[in-house]
């Protein structure tokens, strides 16, 4: 049985062009071909600062929405405590409208980096409260005609935000992060979860086990809760090319090129297929986001073959 018969499979959208120029022709080709091949969704991420020629996710997904018709569109994750919930609600509510109801929003708490919070003029010590209160406020703005919100961090009186998202009751909110407290919070207030691409594959089974335990504890069915992981992939028949490509990507994005083999899956098509099948068998996710670390146009075809979409 092919992987696509077991789980839903998403494809990453070209977004971080590293040392190369921005290539919107590549974005369009990958987006349209992913839709034609039957990938379930196209995903972006968020990074405000950095040297990797990275496009802002809601802007990029607006373009992708315009050149596709049915494939779902996701971001995983927005570093939520660094943004005002009203801006996130407006941005992705608008995207849900222009895409005709195809959006999934991933929210993450991000790293506890004092310099980053100082750059945004925000207090690091209230980040968890900003996150949980912010999720509540986003849902209110997406579902209520008039919002009166009195929180410890955010206050709104008589606020309206129209149009509402097309999806009801609201746009699905997934969360990211693998710490036990994050997984407990995900079970309580999210609609799905995606393991981070930068987290070693070896940690994923333990994270899934904690999440399922937390879901069961509050009466939610783990089998129906969307559970995913961003997996970096490099597929090549040339010996050593996959690992070299993965190493370059991990060094450019995370500064961890020496641990590339732990952060992604690389090798021949058969080797990649075997590793993905083993991961699915061991952890039982119902979705995977496969993120090529280069050669996107070539990889969308290669990944489709590996998972059985062609």
Number of domains making up the chain = 1
Rounded CA gap, 190 and 132, in Å? 10
Phi first, then psi: give them for residue 163, nearest 5 degrees. -80, 155
Peptide bond before 294: cis, by omega within 30 degrees of 0?
no
| Burial zone of 258 (CB within 10 Å; 0-12 exposed, 13-18 middle, 19+ buried) | exposed
- Dihedral, CA atoms, 145, 150, 152, 153, nearest 10 degrees? 40
pLDDT at 18: 83
> Is residue 260 over pLDDT 90?
no
Burial 67-81 (b: 16+ CB within 10 A, else e): ebeebbbbbbbbbbb
Give me the pLDDT at residue 77, please.
Answer: 96
Cα first-last separation, the chain: 13
Any idea which of 63-72, 104-113, 160-169, 244-253 has the lowest mean pLDDT?
244-253
Q: Residue 257 pLDDT > 70, yes or no?
A: no
What is the band of 262 on the pLDDT scale with cuts at 50, 70, 90?
confident
Q: What is the mean pLDDT of the chain?
A: 95
Predicted pLDDT of residue 258: 67
Per the structure, the complete domain to which residue 200 belongs is given by 3-307
Ramachandran angles phi, psi of 287, nearest 5°: -160, 145
pLDDT-based confidence at residue 86 (cuts at 50, 70, 90)? very high
Token pair, residue 27, equals: 């974005």
Query: What stretches of 8-113 show up as alpha helix (H) in DSSP?
Result: 24-37, 57-67, 85-98
Are 186 and 175 in contact by the 8 Å Cβ rule? The answer is: yes
Q: Where are the beta strands (DSSP E) in the chain?
A: 8-12, 41-44, 72-79, 103-108, 147-150, 155-159, 173-176, 192-195, 227-235, 264-267, 287-292
List pLDDT tens digits, range 267-304: 999 999 999 999 999 999 999 999 999 999 999 999 99
At residue 182 the predicted structure's pLDDT band, cuts being 50, 70 and 90, is very high
Q: What's residue 103's pLDDT?
A: 99
**Which residue, 264, 286, 236, 278, is CA-closest to 12?**
264
d(CA 93, CA 171): 8
Which SS3 state, helix, strand or coil, does residue 263 take? helix
Q: How many residues does the chain have?
A: 310
Mean pLDDT of 132-138: 99
The pTM (predicted TM-score) of the whole model is 0.95
Q: What is the mean pLDDT of residues 207-211?
A: 97
Provide the pLDDT for residue 251. Answer: 87
Dihedral (Cα; 174, 74, 36, 231), 10-degree rounding? -70
Average pLDDT value for residue range 205-222: 98
Under the banding of pLDDT at 50, 70 and 90, the label for residue 240 is: confident
pLDDT at position 310 over 80: yes
In what helix (H) or strand (E) does residue 204 lie, and over which residues does it extend? helix 204-217
Dist. CA 276–CA 232, nearest whole Å: 11
Partners of 264 in beta bridges:
232
Q: What sign has the CA pseudo-torsion 50, 127, 117, 151?
A: positive
| CATH at residue 28 | 3.20.20.30
């Amino acid at each position: 049985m092919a992987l696509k018969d077991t789980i839903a499979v998403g494809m990453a959208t070209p977004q971080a062009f590293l040392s190369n120029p921005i290539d919107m022709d590549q974005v369009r080709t990958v987006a349209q071909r992913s839709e034609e091949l039957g990938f379930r969704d196209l995903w972006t991420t968020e990074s405000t600062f950095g040297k990797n020629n990275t496009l802002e996710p809601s802007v990029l997904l607006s373009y992708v929405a315009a050149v596709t018709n049915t494939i779902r569109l996701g971001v995983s994750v927005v570093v939520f405590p660094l943004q005002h919930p009203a801006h996130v609600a407006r941005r992705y509510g608008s995207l849900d409208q222009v895409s005709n109801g195809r959006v999934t929003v991933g929210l993450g708490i991000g790293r506890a980096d004092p310099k980053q919070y100082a750059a945004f003029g925000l207090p690091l010590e209230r980040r968890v409260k900003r996150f949980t209160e912010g999720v509540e406020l986003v849902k209110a703005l997406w579902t209520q005609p008039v919002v009166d919100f009195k929180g410890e961090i955010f206050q709104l009186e008589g606020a309206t935000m129209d149009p509402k998202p097309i999806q009801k009751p609201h746009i699905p909110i997934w969360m990211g992060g693998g710490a036990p407290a994050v997984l407990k919070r995900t079970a309580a207030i999210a609609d799905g979860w995606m393991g981070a691409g930068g987290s070693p594959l070896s940690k994923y089974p333990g994270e899934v086990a904690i999440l399922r335990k937390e879901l069961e504890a509050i009466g939610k069915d783990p089998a129906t809760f969307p559970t995913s992981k961003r997996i970096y992939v490099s597929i090549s028949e040339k010996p050593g090319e996959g690992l070299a490509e993965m190493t370059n990507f991990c060094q450019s994005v995370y500064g961890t090129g020496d641990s590339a083999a732990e952060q992604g899956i690389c090798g021949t098509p058969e080797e990649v297929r075997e590793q993905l099948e083993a991961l699915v068998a061991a952890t039982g996710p119902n979705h995977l986001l496969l993120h090529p670390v280069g050669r996107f146009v070539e990889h969308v075809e290669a990944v489709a073959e590996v998972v059985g979409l062609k």
